């Protein structure tokens, strides 16, 4: 698949034919139940000191209790079902969900995984809104030469099925951010093992394990190379065979001597250049929204009739 830089894509509904294997074109009371046992109702007293059974309720109280029970069950069910959809990467999905996620790289159009325009309400420093425009999509590929040696070694246990990448710029074209989706060959236990290692060893915070950017010619990211990386984030999902990452930098090609993990750059009071420029927000904000779109696509895939 070949890709063409896109500076100002127009919004358009995704074309189902625009997949990763097609050329990229610009555009936007069960049995055995226990027997019933009844007990005498205890008595109490009403406001006039008259005896009354404690267990009786008025019709309105009974109805209200029933409504609360239904709502409570609905909320619990919704929370369990929605954990995968809203970003709770700690909750493992079903085997069918895991399998569906692993096949998205060749079955979902480009614009659904990497939208031409991404809105980031409250994603900027201090809760400011952000708008990102896609300026380049890399051809889908394997992982050879796609990562620095140490990161490639850290990710090796889960394998590499396919790597998808896109680069975005902010509304002022001051910053550029590459977002990547690494589809692995691992099963659920393999992804969980890698996620645990990243968490325990804090691998996502090591500057020698930063992802590489995708620099496309004739775009604001043309000079976005390894020395221009300023902030990054890496997220190993456990309910899908996918690693989501993002790396950001300045669009003017300046080198960065003190890159920071996005989480550190977003902390209140951080004074490094990436933090002051909001580049941690750029990386984390885009990664979060691409991951969210991935989850929506998995939901759509699992809901389709077989």
Query: Per residue in 23-41, pLDDT tens?
Result: 443 444 444 443 333 333 3
pLDDT at 116: 97
Q: 304 falls in which pLDDT band (50, 70, 90)? A: low
| pLDDT band at residue 122 using 50, 70 and 90 as cut-offs | confident
Question: Which value, in Å, is the radius of gyration of the alpha carbons in the chain?
Answer: 25
Phi, psi (deg, nearest 5) at residue 175: -125, 155
**β-bridge mates for residue 57, sequence order:** none
| pLDDT computed for residue 145 by the predictor | 87
- Asked if pLDDT for residue 136 goes beyond 70, the answer is yes
| Nearest one of 55, 286, 34, 37 to 179, comparing CA atoms | 286
pLDDT at 52: 47
Q: Tell me the C-alpha distance between 241 and 243, whole Å.
A: 7
d(CA 222, CA 253): 8
- 144 confidence band (pLDDT: 50, 70, 90): confident
Distance CA 104, CA 272 (A): 38
Q: What is the DSSP letter of 141?
A: B
pLDDT, residue 305, reads 56
The rounded distance, in Å, linking the Cα atoms of 14 and 64 is 45
Answer yes or no: is pLDDT of 171 > 50: yes
Residue 73 banded pLDDT, cuts 50, 70, 90: very low
| pLDDT over 70 (residue 129) | yes
pLDDT of residue 33: 40
Quote the pLDDT of residue 47. Answer: 46
Q: pLDDT class for 291, splitting at 50, 70, 90?
A: very high
pLDDT of residue 279: 96
β partners of residue 134? 168
Cα–Cα distance list, 62 to 43, 54, 65, 66 (Å): 19, 14, 5, 6
Whether 57 has a pLDDT exceeding 80, the answer reads: no
In the predicted structure, residue 98 carries a pLDDT above the cut 80: yes
pLDDT tens-digit profile of 220-254?
999 999 999 999 999 999 999 999 999 999 999 99
Question: Is a pLDDT exceeding 60 seen at residue 272?
Answer: yes
**pLDDT for 51:** 47
Mean pLDDT of 15-26: 42
Nearest to 227 by CA among 255, 199, 246: 255
The residue among 173 and 80 whose pLDDT is bigger is 173
Sign of CA dihedral 263, 244, 210, 8: negative
Residue 200 has a pLDDT of 97
Cβ atoms of 254 and 235 within 8 Å: the answer is: no
């Amino acid at each position: 698949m070949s890709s063409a830089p896109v500076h100002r894509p127009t919004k358009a509904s995704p074309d189902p034919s625009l997949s990763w294997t097609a050329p990229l074109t610009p555009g936007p009371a069960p049995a055995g139940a226990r027997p019933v046992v009844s007990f005498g109702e205890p008595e109490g007293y009403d406001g006039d000191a008259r005896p009354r059974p404690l267990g009786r309720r008025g019709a309105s109280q009974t109805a209200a209790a029933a409504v609360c029970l239904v709502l409570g069950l609905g909320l619990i069910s919704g929370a369990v079902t929605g954990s995968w959809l809203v970003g709770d990467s700690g909750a493992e999905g079903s085997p069918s969900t895991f399998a569906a996620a692993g096949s998205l790289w060749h079955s979902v159009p480009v614009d659904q995984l990497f939208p031409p325009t991404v809105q980031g309400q409250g994603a900027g420093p201090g809760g400011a809104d952000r708008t990102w425009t896609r300026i380049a999509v890399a051809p889908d590929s394997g992982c050879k030469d796609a990562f620095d040696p140490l990161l490639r070694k850290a990710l090796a246990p889960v394998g590499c099925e396919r790597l998808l990448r896109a680069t975005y710029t902010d509304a002022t074209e001051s910053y550029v951010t590459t977002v990547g989706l690494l589809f692995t060959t691992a099963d659920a236990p393999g992804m969980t093992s890698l996620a645990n290692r990243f968490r325990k060893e804090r691998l996502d915070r090591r500057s020698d394990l930063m992802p590489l950017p995708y620099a496309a010619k004739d775009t604001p990211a043309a000079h976005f190379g390894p020395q221009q990386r300023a902030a990054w984030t890496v997220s190993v999902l456990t309910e899908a065979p996918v690693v989501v990452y993002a790396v950001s930098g300045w669009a003017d090609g300046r080198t960065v001597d003190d890159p920071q993990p996005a989480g550190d750059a977003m902390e209140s009071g951080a004074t490094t250049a990436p933090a002051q420029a909001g580049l941690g927000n750029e990386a984390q904000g885009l990664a979060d929204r691409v991951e969210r779109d991935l989850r929506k696509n998995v939901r759509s895939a699992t809901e389709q009739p077989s």
